[in-house]
């Protein structure tokens, strides 16, 4: 989220698309209701299903799964055509005026530079026209046909209301009604907020779904302002934190990235990360990358990381491919290329696409370690649970360890919420039985391995032997100590230019601005720097006061970066530093400095210095044209899901995302609409949380049994009765469950054909208190978003047939 | 069982057992029922242990009573047929109430009043039973609509009150008409009692030489 | 409610009075019959501030447990409700959060380390030492055998591909950081979290 | 909240005495359920089960989100979902939290035969005192909203207590506290009525011309009220009674019949008594025995 949960109440229009906030985030959704009641806001829901969010919406529009880019591109076209954009914002804060290189183009569904064989682009043409100093050229008059805004205008020209309706199945009048609501937020004092979640990410074009909306928001001047922003409602309590701390195949804490094989030396590594400003005077904050990196290496390798050994650069593993994501991991596992797998509080047998493949792959491991508070399906993948998990234990040679862990109530620590707040929590009771904290378990493994390597030697033991582990209790490090390590401290006295001591050696740092690249500071996660200072644990702060009830509450817990609550908040004020909406100002220039309710997401620069508000970007601007940051193109384009009943009417030859990675065996497992004519889509129900709450009796009572949702028309066609048994199948598998025949899913007319959607809630499995179920991933295809590899759970092909009730 | 010489058997042993089971059930039902009917009478539930017990046991006693009353019907239905004598007897009801036996028409084994008690209970008992089933929460709470249950509760209460009033009449009559009680406890009455209250019955017994309670039919041994 | 001995006698006494009055036929015992409302169960429970473990709204919660954390008492969580001070949830909780008690006390919570041998039909309870020793041994065997120190071009890459790890989605930053350190020190790159599913 | 704390009684089931507190004027409380901001998440249901230590059976999917399918002794509140195509042809998903309405004139209390098993506190809460409940199920028949359920386990009747245990100590009911969208509010009845008025104005501005407050006069008003988008048609919301009142059958049963019955029984007994003291017993006379003996002898003589 760029903004806070409470800030949603400041919105004039709330758009829930690519998510179902009321069901997945009820307590955050309260701020939508607040916006409606206190701010007179209109709630717009665009979803294939009439969800519980839609039940309180002012306008609901159905859309076929996987057609969001077409819909939003249509919105962009409308806004540009009717000139309903916030001109001053767009001109000053976005790259609309920047001029794109001549070689760049788009034709028949492909941008320039495509290599069909490798399914990748040569992105060199996706760049600005630069001057002699390397700065991008600008045309503030927007006369140059190559400036971004004009290229965008041309790009979205195809998305007419007729075309949008033809692709999305949304009625034209409803679409135009939505466009008007979007347009109503183009005045500077009006804000639209976008709430989204996995309804956008879980597509082969997931990242571009989000980008399209972000572009709409830039055009409306809604990024950085109160009641605006792009608000990704993250799914799990600390998935933000795990991402922040870099628990991703290519990541390091604080969005630093692991080196690639091509980055042989430390210098080569740094070259691609220190982004040079693309416009004069811009911050381009990643220029500080080296400070963060060196401080991090000092945190984990201590004295062993020195300038001489390039701060132990070689001790970091290098990647030969962009990502070893989950889809890649199970592809490798299924091919027998992996021996061990450790699942820490994660249930891949239920969570990952193509359950059959996951089960088979797990059975090829030599050992599987599951650390979890609950009896997960993954830890029992080898056991025969009937049709829901048909395994033959005798034939599975995997050693399986089921390690009991603590849960939230039994440990101290901080979690990062969707709004980037780090909130400390306290232990309330001891864990049951012999359950232990994950920290204790990881420490236990670490000590054993280090001991073995120390004694017996083995493959490259240096990082293991030199890993800092100076905790008071090395067997079970105190979370407070670990938090302090992430915040960072001075390793030597830090002096300013005049020799004045700023921070004494050994003291906690106040923030990442104090980090140095000479080895005199350490910080385990630079973006968390400031969370645990000499003043104590800032994450434990509990002052809920919220001046002017702005929805910021600056003294509650601590938000990264630097306790900023609303990202890009410089953009809430006009170029002169006056708030666009004085009634809801966040920060403003008072003539000598920036003041306001929030910590400025900016430097101390005066407005006259023309420093752009998007300080992480090298041109300081929001990007309507994404340069080379997206793998499938600098502008979003509608591509069909990999399993879709429809042709791509825009460019039949390039039907799907041309840059998506698809493994051959997965491609072979894609079905066609001839066999599987209906569109399946998976989702959460509000009564359950993933595969956890089915272990909680109350939630099992509230939603006890697996079912799929189908519309009345399809049910009639297939003779399916209410709560009757059905078999839902795809190329990869089938599940048998009950059907919920509902008015809430109606067939949509896509390219002249009726398109039926089958809704597959995902919560059931074969352990816990609820009734046994197959799990939605029995059906989902193993293909991911081209940028992030987030699996395409939201659009795939299925068939539905009426069947007799299974014999109990 | 032997009866004193010269007396007439009014009720057989089986009939008496049957009657007193019915009577006991009735009294218990009345006590438990009334405890649930009016707050003034809730204290009666203490006789059953508690309100819970009174509520729990009431329907079961009702089931026993139904069976028991069915037994009474089997035993007594023939002697309770309505006939012209009853009309005449009814016409003389004032005399009956005034204890003026002369001028009261002769009646058989049961007079119209007794027949009224018999048949009205014969109606009320099944009515109470059926409506009782409907409001028997534990087993049948979900079997019918709540509106049906409301009607059933109302009918049950009305029927119970009617039954209680009839029962009071019945009991008073047994006390008032001396000798009747013995007819139901020890089972016999004197010939004079029979002459005074059920002369036609006495005549039929005498005519067939039966010791009671029913005239001997052809072929029966004495 | 604190049913102290004194209070207990008083309540029992009131009950007696009511039942004897009832037996005498004074069924309308008025307020003597009035049982009190259910005792408020949190009166002396300990309160701990925490964060809901499910979605990333990260609602503030109050965990109530029996026991005052005295040395000789083992705390037991009896109730969880929303933290009214929390700026986002302001005391509210969703159906999952409102039922957190049932996940803490789920019958399917794991209590003992278990091990399933190759081809075995069931789990066997084992000691922590057995489990961690065996896992460490398996990891080391695999790592020593399959660790890639240099790629085919001779570049130092120091990666370990044959054992992977999935990190949690509800564990703390501190747990995550410790996990990162251990996994990367081993050179692990098949390493992901639940951000995408 | 101090004015919400009182638990003095204004009504007690099956008693003939008027509780003394009836003369006091306590602030009455109310729970306002704003159906129009309810997202049907069932947090209230979960919170109710958790707070009141209720756990029923894990049921089945029955073709609806209503889970469990109905109220039961372990389910004191239940979300009821209705998919309704409105007159404009747009779908509306009407979701109503069902549960005890805490009537001003409670039918359950009227029907209850067990003294003190159902009470109404001065703040308006209608509470079942299990200790005094005899499990007869009369409250089920008395209730115009079909709410109470008698447990098959302990034979006591159960329903929402409006968390009287929480209200006593100045806390709002569990469902109210949990409700993520503030669709359930709690406070004095006058405040809730006033707030509902504001909501209705907002709803009318959003095109719900018939929005209104559901506080049915047939039961004297309720201490649980609804804001409805279609207050002209309450029954759209999973059969919420359009005009609830205590059934006439119950009124007769618990009203008119009681004195009538007592009078009838008394009359019968009194009539008997006076008959006895005025006319006395009907005794067999020696003449009767003589006549009978003659009849018998005559008969024996004939044979």
Statement: the pTM of the whole predicted model exceeds 0.95:
no
Strands annotated E in A395-552? 399-404, 413-416, 421-425, 489-490, 494-495, 501-503, 521-522, 532-533, 536-537
Q: What is the pLDDT at residue D22?
A: 55
Span B183-189, average pLDDT: 95
Span A227-254, average pLDDT: 96
Say what percent of chain D tops pLDDT 70: 93
Three-state SS at A362: helix
Q: Cα separations (Å) of A120 from A155, A651, B210?
A: 21, 18, 118
Interface contacts (B, D; CB < 8 Å): 164
Span A611-626, average pLDDT: 96
Q: What is the pLDDT at residue A34?
A: 97
Please report the DSSP string for A561-588 in residue order: TTT-SSTTGGGGB-TTS-BSSGGG--EE
Residue in D closest to A52 by C-alpha: D39
Any C CB within 8 A of B47 CB? no
Same domain assignment for residues D36 and D14: yes
D and A touch with 3+ CB pairs <8 Å, answer: yes
A and B touch with 3+ CB pairs <8 Å, answer: no
pLDDT digits (tens, 9 = 90+) for D22-71: 555 567 899 999 999 999 999 999 999 999 999 999 999 999 999 999 99
Phi and psi for D176 in degrees, rounded to 5?
A: -65, -45
Q: What is the pLDDT at residue C14?
A: 36
Q: What is the pLDDT at residue D298?
A: 87
Nearest to C189 among A25, A244, A249 (CB): A249
pLDDT digits (tens, 9 = 90+) for A162-174: 999 999 999 999 9
**For residue B14, with 0-12 CB atoms within 10 Å meaning exposed, 13-18 middle and 19 or more buried, which class applies?**
exposed
Distance from CA of B70 to the nearest CA of D (A): 25
Kindly indicate the confidence band of residue B219, based on its pLDDT and cuts at 50, 70 and 90.
low
The Cα–Cα gap between D187 and D195 comes to 10
Helix (H) or strand (E) holding A106: strand A106-107
Q: Where are the domains of chain A?
A: 6-232, 664-802
- Name the token pair of A223: 């990024």
According to DSSP, residue A111 is labeled E
Residues of D in contact with B137 (CB under 8 A): 135-137, 140, 150
Q: Check whether A103 has a pLDDT greater than 60.
A: yes
| Residues of B assigned a catalytic role | 170
Q: Check whether C20 has a pLDDT greater than 70.
A: no
The Cα–Cα gap between D13 and C28 comes to 10
Same domain assignment for residues D280 and D191: no
Residue in B closest to D142 by C-alpha: B150
Q: What is the pLDDT at residue B49?
A: 94
Q: What is the pLDDT at residue A634?
A: 98
Kindly indicate the confidence band of residue B11, based on its pLDDT and cuts at 50, 70 and 90.
very high
Q: What is the pLDDT at residue B174?
A: 95
Q: What is the average pLDDT value for chain A, to the nearest integer?
A: 97
Last residue of a domain, one of D198, D224, D246: D246
Say what percent of chain A tops pLDDT 70: 100
Q: What is the pLDDT at residue C196?
A: 83
pLDDT digits (tens, 9 = 90+) for B138-151: 999 989 999 999 99
Q: Check whether C15 has a pLDDT greater than 80.
A: no
Residue A741 exposure: Cα atoms within 13 Å on the Cβ side: 17
Residues of A in contact with C149 (CB under 8 A): 459-460
Kindly indicate the confidence band of residue A214, based on its pLDDT and cuts at 50, 70 and 90.
very high
Q: Check whether C33 has a pLDDT greater than 60.
A: no
Any C CB within 8 A of A340 CB? yes
pLDDT digits (tens, 9 = 90+) for A631-655: 999 999 999 999 999 999 999 999 9
The Cα–Cα gap between A414 and A512 comes to 19
Q: What is the pLDDT at residue A735?
A: 97
Span A729-733, average pLDDT: 97
Residues B12-79+111-170, CATH architecture: Up-down Bundle (1.20)
Residue in B closest to D145 by C-alpha: B146
Which range is least confidently modeled, A139-143, A263-267, B4-8? Answer: B4-8
Q: What is the pLDDT at residue B221?
A: 58
Q: What is the pLDDT at residue C39?
A: 87
Residues of C in contact with A482 (CB under 8 A): 173-174, 177-178
Helix (H) or strand (E) holding D82: strand D77-85
Residues of B in contact with C30 (CB under 8 A): none
Same domain assignment for residues D280 and D161: no
Phi and psi for B95 in degrees, rounded to 5?
A: -60, -40
Q: What is the pLDDT at residue A447?
A: 98
Pairwise CB contact (< 8 Å): D42 & C41: no
Pairwise CB contact (< 8 Å): B40 & C23: no
Check: complex ipTM more than 0.90: yes
The Cα–Cα gap between C61 and A415 comes to 13
Pairwise CB contact (< 8 Å): D61 & A744: no
Q: What is the pLDDT at residue D259?
A: 87
Q: Which domain holds residue D192?
A: 2-246
CA triple D111-D112-D115, angle to 5 deg: 140
Residue in B closest to C18 by C-alpha: B43
Q: Check whether C16 has a pLDDT greater than 50.
A: no
Nearest to D67 among A58, A702, A746 (CB): A702
Q: Which of C167, C183, C184, C188 to probe by mutation at the A interface, max A CB count within 10 Å? A: C167
Same domain assignment for residues D188 and D226: yes
| D79 bridge partner residues | D97
Q: What is the pLDDT at residue D15?
A: 77
Q: Check whether A11 has a pLDDT greater than 70.
A: yes
What is the number of domains present in chain D?
2
Kindly indicate the confidence band of residue C12, based on its pLDDT and cuts at 50, 70 and 90.
very low
Pairwise CB contact (< 8 Å): A701 & D58: yes
Any A CB within 8 A of D70 CB? no
Q: What is the pLDDT at residue C69?
A: 84
Q: What is the pLDDT at residue D21?
A: 57
3-state SS string over A364-422?
A: CCCEEEEEECECCCHHHCCCCCHHHCCCCHHHCCCEEEEEEECCHHHCCEEEECCCCEE
Span B88-116, average pLDDT: 92
3.40.228.10, 3.40.605.10, 3.30.930.10, 3.40.50.300: CATH of A6-232? 3.40.228.10
Kindly indicate the confidence band of residue A329, based on its pLDDT and cuts at 50, 70 and 90.
very high
Q: Check whether D94 has a pLDDT greater than 80.
A: yes
Pairwise CB contact (< 8 Å): D113 & B36: yes
pLDDT digits (tens, 9 = 90+) for A15-65: 999 999 999 999 999 999 999 999 999 999 999 999 999 999 999 999 999
Pairwise CB contact (< 8 Å): D177 & C38: no
Q: Would you say D210 and D50 are in contact if contact means Cβ atoms under 8 Å apart?
A: no
Phi and psi for D88 in degrees, rounded to 5?
A: -85, 0
Pairwise CB contact (< 8 Å): D303 & B209: yes
- Chains touching chain A, criterion 3+ CB pairs below 8 Å: C, D
Distance from CA of C95 to the nearest CA of D (A): 4
- Name the token pair of B132: 């009782």
Same domain assignment for residues D240 and D292: no
Nearest to A33 among D59, D63, D182 (CB): D182
Span A480-494, average pLDDT: 98
Three-state SS at A152: helix
Any D CB within 8 A of B172 CB? yes
Q: Check whether C26 has a pLDDT greater than 80.
A: no
Residues 471-530 of A with CB under 8 A from C: 477, 479, 482-483, 485-486, 524-525, 528
Higher pLDDT, D2 or D277: D277
Q: Check whether C34 has a pLDDT greater than 50.
A: no
DSSP H helices, A157-303, are 161-168, 172-183, 198-201, 206-219, 239-244, 266-271, 289-301
pLDDT digits (tens, 9 = 90+) for D152-185: 999 999 999 999 999 988 899 999 999 999 999 9
Distance from CA of D289 to the nearest CA of C (A): 47
Residues of D in contact with B37 (CB under 8 A): 113, 258, 261
CATH top-level class for C46-104? alpha beta
Q: What is the pLDDT at residue A8?
A: 98
Helix axes A438-456, C173-185, angle to 10 degrees: 20
Three-state SS at C50: strand
Distance from CA of B32 to the nearest CA of C (A): 14
Higher pLDDT, C107 or B85: C107
Pairwise CB contact (< 8 Å): D67 & A52: no
Say what percent of chain A tops pLDDT 90: 99
Nearest to A705 among D61, D90, D206 (CB): D61
pLDDT digits (tens, 9 = 90+) for A429-467: 999 999 999 999 999 999 999 999 999 999 999 999 999
Span A784-789, average pLDDT: 96
Any C CB within 8 A of D127 CB? yes
The Cα–Cα gap between A187 and A181 comes to 12
Pairwise CB contact (< 8 Å): D37 & A33: yes
Q: What is the pLDDT at residue B101?
A: 83
Residues 187-246 of D with CB under 8 A from A: 199, 202, 206
Any D CB within 8 A of B154 CB? yes
| A436 bridge partner residues | A405
Pairwise CB contact (< 8 Å): B137 & D146: no
Strands annotated E in C42-162? 46-51, 60-66, 76-82, 114-116, 124-125, 148-150, 156-159
Q: Would you say C16 and C37 are in contact if contact means Cβ atoms under 8 Å apart?
A: no
Residues of B in contact with D285 (CB under 8 A): 192, 196
Residues of A in contact with C87 (CB under 8 A): 6, 544, 546, 553, 556
Q: Check whether A418 has a pLDDT greater than 90.
A: yes
Q: Would you say A601 and A569 are in contact if contact means Cβ atoms under 8 Å apart?
A: yes
Distance of CA B158 to the CA centre of its chain: 18
Residue in B closest to C22 by C-alpha: B43
CATH top-level class for A664-802? mainly beta
Say what percent of chain D tops pLDDT 90: 82
């Amino acid at each position: 989220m760029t903004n806070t949960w409470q800030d949603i109440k400041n919105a004039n229009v709330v758009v829930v698309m690519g998510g179902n906030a009321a069901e997945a985030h009820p307590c955050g959704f309260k701020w939508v209701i607040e916006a409606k009641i206190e701010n007179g806001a209109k709630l717009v829901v665009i979803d294939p299903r009439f969800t519980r969010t839609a039940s309180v919406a002012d306008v609901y529009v159905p859309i076929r799964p996987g057609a969001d880019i077409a819909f939003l591109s249509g919105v962009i076209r409308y806004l540009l055509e009717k000139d309903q954009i916030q001109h001053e914002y767009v001109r000053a804060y976005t790259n609309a005026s920047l001029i794109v290189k001549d070689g760049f183009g788009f034709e028949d569904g492909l941008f320039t530079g495509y290599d069909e064989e490798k399914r990748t682009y040569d992105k060199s043409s996706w760049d600005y026209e630069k001057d002699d100093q390397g700065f991008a050229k600008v045309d503030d008059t927007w006369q140059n046909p190559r400036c971004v805004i004009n290229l965008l205008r041309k790009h979205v020209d195809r998305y007419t209301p007729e075309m949008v309706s033809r692709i999305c199945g949304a009625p034209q009048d409803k679409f135009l009604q939505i466009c008007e609501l979007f347009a109503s937020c183009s005045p500077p004092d009006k804000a639209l907020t976008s709430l989204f979640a996995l309804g956008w990410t879980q597509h082969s074009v997931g990242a571009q779904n989000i980008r399209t909306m972000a572009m709409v928001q830039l055009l409306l001047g809604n990024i950085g302002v109160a009641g605006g922003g792009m608000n990704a409602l993250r799914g799990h309590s600390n998935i933000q934190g795990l991402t922040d701390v870099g628990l991703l195949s290519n990541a390091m804490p604080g969005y630093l990235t692991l080196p690639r094989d091509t980055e042989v030396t430390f210098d080569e590594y740094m070259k691609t990360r220190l982004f040079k400003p693309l416009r004069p005077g811009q911050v381009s904050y990643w220029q500080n990358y080296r400070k963060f990196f060196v401080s991090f290496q000092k945190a984990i390798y201590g004295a062993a990381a020195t300038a001489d050994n390039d701060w132990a650069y070689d001790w970091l593993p290098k990647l030969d491919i962009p990502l070893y994501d989950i889809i890649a991991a199970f592809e490798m596992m299924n091919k027998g290329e992996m021996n061990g797998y450790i699942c820490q509080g994660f249930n891949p047998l239920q969570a990952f696409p193509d359950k059959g493949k996951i089960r088979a792959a797990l059975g090829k491991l030599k050992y599987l370690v599951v650390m979890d508070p609950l009896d997960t399906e993954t830890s029992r993948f080898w056991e025969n649970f009937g049709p829901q998990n048909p395994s033959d234990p005798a034939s599975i040679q995997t050693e399986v360890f089921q390690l009991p862990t603590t849960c939230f109530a039994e440990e101290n620590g901080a979690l990062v919420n969707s709004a980037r707040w780090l909130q400390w929590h306290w232990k309330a009771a001891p864990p049951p039985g012999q359950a232990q904290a994950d920290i204790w378990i990881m420490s236990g493994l670490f000590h054993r391995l280090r001991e073995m390597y120390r004694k017996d030697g083995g493959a490259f033991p240096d990082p293991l032997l030199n890993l800092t582990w100076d905790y008071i209790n090395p067997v079970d490090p105190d979370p407070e100590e670990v938090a302090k390590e992430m915040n960072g401290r001075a390793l030597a006295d830090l002096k300013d230019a005049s020799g004045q001591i700023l921070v004494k050696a050994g003291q906690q740092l106040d923030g990442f601005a104090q980090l140095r690249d000479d080895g005199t500071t350490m910080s385990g996660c630079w973006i968390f720097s400031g969370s645990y200072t000499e003043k104590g644990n800032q994450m434990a702060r509990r002052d809920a006061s919220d001046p002017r009830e702005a929805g910021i509450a600056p003294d509650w817990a601590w938000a990264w970066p630097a306790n900023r609550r609303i990202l890009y908040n410089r953009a809430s004020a006009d170029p002169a530093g006056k708030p666009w909406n004085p009634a809801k100002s966040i920060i403003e220039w008072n003539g000598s400095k920036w003041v306001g309710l929030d910590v400025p997401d900016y430097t101390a620069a005066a407005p006259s210095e023309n420093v752009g508000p998007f300080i992480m970007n090298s041109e300081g601007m929001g990007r309507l044209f994404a340069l080379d940051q997206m793998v499938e193109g600098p502008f979003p384009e509608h591509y069909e899901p990999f399993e879709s009943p429809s042709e791509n009417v825009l460019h039949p030859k390039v039907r799907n995302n041309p840059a998506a990675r698809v493994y051959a065996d997965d491609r072979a497992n894609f079905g066609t609409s001839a066999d599987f004519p209906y569109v399946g889509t998976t989702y959460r129900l509000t009564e359950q949380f993933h595969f956890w709450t089915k272990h909680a009796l109350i939630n099992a009572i509230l939603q006890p049994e697996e079912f799929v949702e189908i519309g009345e028309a399809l049910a009639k066609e297939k003779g399916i009765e209410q709560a009757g048994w059905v078999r839902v199948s795809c190329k990869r598998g089938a599940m048998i469950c009950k059907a919920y025949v509902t008015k809430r899913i109606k067939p949509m007319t896509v390219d002249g054909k009726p398109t039926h959607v089958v809704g597959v809630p995902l919560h059931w499995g074969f352990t816990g208190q609820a009734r046994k179920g197959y799990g939605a991933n029995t059906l989902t295809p193993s293909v991911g978003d081209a940028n992030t590899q987030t699996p395409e759970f939201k659009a795939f092909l299925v068939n539905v047939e009426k069947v007799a009730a299974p014999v109990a | 069982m032997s009866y004193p010489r010269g007396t007439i058997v009014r009720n057989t042993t089986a009939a008496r057992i049957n009657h007193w089971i019915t009577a006991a059930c009735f009294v218990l039902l009345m006590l438990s029922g009334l405890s649930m009917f009016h707050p003034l009478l809730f204290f009666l539930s203490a006789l059953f242990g508690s309100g819970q017990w009174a509520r729990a046991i009431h329907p079961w006693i009702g089931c026993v009573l139904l069976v028991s009353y069915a037994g009474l019907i089997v035993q007594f239905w023939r002697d309770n047929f309505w006939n012209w004598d009853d009309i005449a007897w009814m016409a003389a009801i004032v005399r009956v109430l005034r204890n003026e036996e002369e001028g009261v028409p002769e009646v058989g084994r049961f007079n119209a009043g007794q027949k009224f008690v018999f048949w009205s209970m014969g109606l009320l008992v099944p009515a109470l039973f059926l409506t009782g089933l409907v409001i028997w929460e534990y087993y049948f709470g979900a079997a019918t609509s709540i509106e049906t249950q409301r009607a059933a509760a109302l009918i049950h209460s009305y029927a119970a009150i009617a039954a209680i009033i009839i029962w009071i009449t019945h009991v008073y009559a047994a006390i008032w008409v001396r000798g009747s009680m013995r007819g139901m406890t020890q089972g016999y009455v004197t010939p004079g009692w029979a002459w005074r209250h059920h002369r036609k019955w006495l005549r039929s017994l005498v005519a067939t030489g039966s010791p009671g309670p029913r005239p001997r039919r052809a072929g029966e041994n004495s | 409610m604190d049913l102290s001995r004194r209070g207990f006698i008083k309540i029992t006494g009131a009950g007696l009075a009511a039942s004897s009055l009832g037996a005498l036929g004074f069924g309308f015992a008025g307020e003597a019959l009035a049982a009190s409302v259910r005792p408020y169960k949190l009166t002396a429970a300990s309160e701990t501030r925490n964060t809901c473990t499910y979605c990333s709204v990260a609602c503030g919660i109050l965990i109530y447990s029996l026991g005052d954390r005295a040395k000789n008492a083992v705390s037991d969580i009896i109730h969880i409700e929303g933290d009214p001070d929390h700026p986002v949830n302001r005391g509210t909780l969703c159906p999952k959060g409102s039922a957190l008690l049932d996940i803490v006390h789920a019958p399917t919570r794991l209590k003992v380390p278990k091990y399933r041998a190759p081809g075995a039909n069931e789990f066997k309870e084992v000691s922590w030492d057995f489990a961690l020793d065996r896992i460490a041994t398996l990891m080391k065997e695999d790592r020593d055998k399959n660790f890639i120190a240099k790629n085919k071009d001779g570049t130092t890459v120091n990666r370990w591909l044959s054992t992977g790890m999935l990190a949690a989605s509800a564990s703390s930053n501190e747990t995550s950081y410790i996990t990162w350190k251990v996994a990367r020190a081993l050179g692990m790159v098949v390493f992901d979290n639940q951000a995408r599913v | 909240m101090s004015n919400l704390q009182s638990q003095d009684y204004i009504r007690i089931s099956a008693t003939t005495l008027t509780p003394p507190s009836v003369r006091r004027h306590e602030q009455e409380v109310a729970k306002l359920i704003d159906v129009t901001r309810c997202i049907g998440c069932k947090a209230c249901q979960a919170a109710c089960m958790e707070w009141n230590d209720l756990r029923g059976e894990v049921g089945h999917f029955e073709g609806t989100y209503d889970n469990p399918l109905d109220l039961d002794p372990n389910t004191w509140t239940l979300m009821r979902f209705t998919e309704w195509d409105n007159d404009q042809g747009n779908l509306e998903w009407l979701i109503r939290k069902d549960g005890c309405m805490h009537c001003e004139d409670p039918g359950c209390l009227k029907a209850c035969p067990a003294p003190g098993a159902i009470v109404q506190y001065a703040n308006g809460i209608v509470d079942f005192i299990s200790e005094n409940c005899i499990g007869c199920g009369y409250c089920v028949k008395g209730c115009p909203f079909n709410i109470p359920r008698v447990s098959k386990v302990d034979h006591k009747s159960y329903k929402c207590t409006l968390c009287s245990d929480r209200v006593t100590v100045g806390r709002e009911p569990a469902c109210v506290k949990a409700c993520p969208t503030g669709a359930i509010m709690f406070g004095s009845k006058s405040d809730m009525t006033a707030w509902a008025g504001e909501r209705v104005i907002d709803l009318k501005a959003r095109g719900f011309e018939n929005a209104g407050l559901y506080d049915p006069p047939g039961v004297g008003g309720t201490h649980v009220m609804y804001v409805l988008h279609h207050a002209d048609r309450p029954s759209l919301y999973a059969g919420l009674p359009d005009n609830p009142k205590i059934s006439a059958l119950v009124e007769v049963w618990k009203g008119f019949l009681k004195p009538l019955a007592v009078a009838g029984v008394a009359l019968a007994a009194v009539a008997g008594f006076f008959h006895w003291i005025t006319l006395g017993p009907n005794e067999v006379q020696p003449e009767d025995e003589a006549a009978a003996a003659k009849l018998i002898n005559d008969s024996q003589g004939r044979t």
